[in-house]
Structure 1
């Protein structure tokens, strides 16, 4: 029997999720699903046994309900299955994918309202997850969730770049733009209003002109008080995800990343390590402004900024050498 994960991958990133992802995950239970084509706009997938009970059950909720049955793997199980995958074991590959589908959903939530439907974001993220499963080396000592996060984000960001924009942007520009949009989401939750470019610039310690120019590239900026969609009553502000949400995958990923960050930070100079720890709330420190850090360590704001820039450059090189994106620091 042909492996459905492989067939999905060959179709490319432009395909719709609909039957594909559901079948990929639950290929042994096809009788549970029925494609409802009465509504051609949504083309919702509903479980046959629920069709009469709750016709409003959408594809998204169904998918989220179903993937909850796949248990997370322990560190030892990840190593075990990864070694089998390296030998070509397709059952091990399927198990590794299914056990990390919730991680993809958690990451996909951060890209809502960026031009792609939520299910499409999940699908693209699943393609990144599949790639991570094939590339993962268990002998390097990292948890799979930390490694996979980078690949999932790459896949989603490329899909947004290629499918959701009239004018396509280079991937490095999209990554930079994501930093500003992430800051905008954090400030929206903190200030209870849509932040200005000036507020974002101060939050990130970036030049105002640079922030304004980058935000101008985003075609999907809208008022946080406007409806999230044409069919939704809730304003966009109420649909924004809380990046501090303590779901199991988030905690697992943060604890694993924190452990390796401690080792990476030890490779920096004393000043660089202290500045970065205090600026980004690492190593148990509270997040501080440049002025606050300067007061603590007895340096000027400008000198603290210079040390931060130098430290981040060094840290970025260390992380990229080991296959990780420095954008993980901003989540």
Structure 2
């Protein structure tokens, strides 16, 4: 495999792979059989190398996404290697025909992962729209209703999805705290006007003090009850598994209804004390 590094000349890489001879149908079949039957890695290498030119050709159609061409080609090469691993010459098709799906799948995933900070397409319909809508639109103007219906019919999706994806494609990523952009452009960093009240120190301290106060009052209230009542509340509310009324009735030799009355009265006393 020919590796592509950022510092390398991409044109030089392309000229190199274009100079690798193509395999004949018989040569490709023989190499693929060696790989499948014997796990011959040299055969796999020959299959990959002879088809690198097709990855370059496919990758060239993804030049409008603002991503490095070398990165797109490298991702396509990963797809080619996956295809070689799964290729079965007995099906009677050439490797390149079988590999197109795998090459495009890897490139698509890379583009979706890197085109925006937030992924713009996650469902199957959104992914199909993302790549087809850019190609279908003829200008930077917003689509009218007739154009939306036409595209929806062509791609077999809901018109609302077309409008939604058009909005996503037209959006721009903004940095949360980009001081350079704020200075050069009339752009206000979200960090200057978006706040999270949950991490306000005053609110956090108030919450902590309130919880500590409530726990202290609860502890004092429980200790004002006699031992039997505390045990009933503990087994009914704090233990796991919680005891039933009938289980406690058997323990204390009283009726289940009496246990319920004791529990209800104790809870009322605790609430009254805490709310003082």
TM-score by length of 1: 0.45
Whether 1:44 aligns to 2:23 is: no
Match of 1:179 in 2: 132
Q: How does 1:81-230 map to 2 (within 5 A)?
A: 81-86=31-36, 87-168=38-119, 169-170=121-122, 172=124, 173-184=126-137, 188=138, 193-194=139-140, 196-198=142-144, 199=147, 201-202=149-150, 205=153, 208-218=159-169
CA 134–216 in structure 1, closer or farther in 2 if over 3 Å, else same:
same
Q: How many Å apart are 1:60 and its aligned residue?
A: 1.3
**Is the Cα contact below 8 Å between 2:152 and 2:162 reproduced in 1?**
no
| Range moving further from structure 2, 204-213 or 92-101 | 204-213
Q: How many Å apart are 1:211 and its aligned residue?
A: 1.6
Which SS does the other structure have where 2:118 is aligned?
coil
In structure 1, how many angstroms separate the alpha carbons of the residues matched to 2:35 and 2:96? 16
In structure 1, how many angstroms separate the alpha carbons of the residues matched to 2:171 and 2:78? 24
Whether 1:78 aligns to 2:28 is: yes
In structure 2, how many angstroms separate the alpha carbons of the residues matched to 1:220 and 1:93? 43
CA 219–98 in structure 1, closer or farther in 2 if over 3 Å, else same:
farther
Q: How many Å apart are 1:62 and its aligned residue?
A: 0.7
Q: How many Å apart are 1:205 and its aligned residue?
A: 2.6
**Is the Cα contact below 8 Å between 2:151 and 2:162 reproduced in 1?**
no
**Is the Cα contact below 8 Å between 1:96 and 1:133 reproduced in 2?**
yes
> Which structure has greater helix proportion?
2
What is the aligned length? 164
**Is the Cα contact below 8 Å between 1:67 and 1:102 reproduced in 2?**
yes
In structure 2, how many angstroms separate the alpha carbons of the residues matched to 1:75 and 1:220? 47
Q: Which has the larger radius of gyration?
A: 2
Structure 1's unaligned 5+ residue stretches are: 6-19, 23-34, 36-42, 46-58, 222-331
TM-score by length of 2: 0.53
Give the ranges of 4+ consecutive aligned residues of structure 1 lying more than 6 Å apart after TM superposition.
Answer: none
**Is the Cα contact below 8 Å between 1:129 and 1:152 reproduced in 2?**
yes
Give a deviation string over 1:225-272, Cα, whole Å, max 9, x none. Answer: xxxxxxxxxxxxxxxxxxxxxxxxxxxxxxxxxxxxxxxxxxxxxxxx
**Is the Cα contact below 8 Å between 2:76 and 2:107 reproduced in 1?**
yes
Give a deviation string over 1:95-153, Cα, whole Å, max 9, x none. Answer: 11111111111111111121421110000000010110101111111221111000001
Match of 1:65 in 2: 15
CA 195–67 in structure 1, closer or farther in 2 if over 3 Å, else same:
farther
Q: How many Å apart are 1:219 and its aligned residue?
A: 5.6
In structure 2, how many angstroms separate the alpha carbons of the residues matched to 1:96 and 1:108? 19
Q: How many Å apart are 1:220 and its aligned residue?
A: 7.3
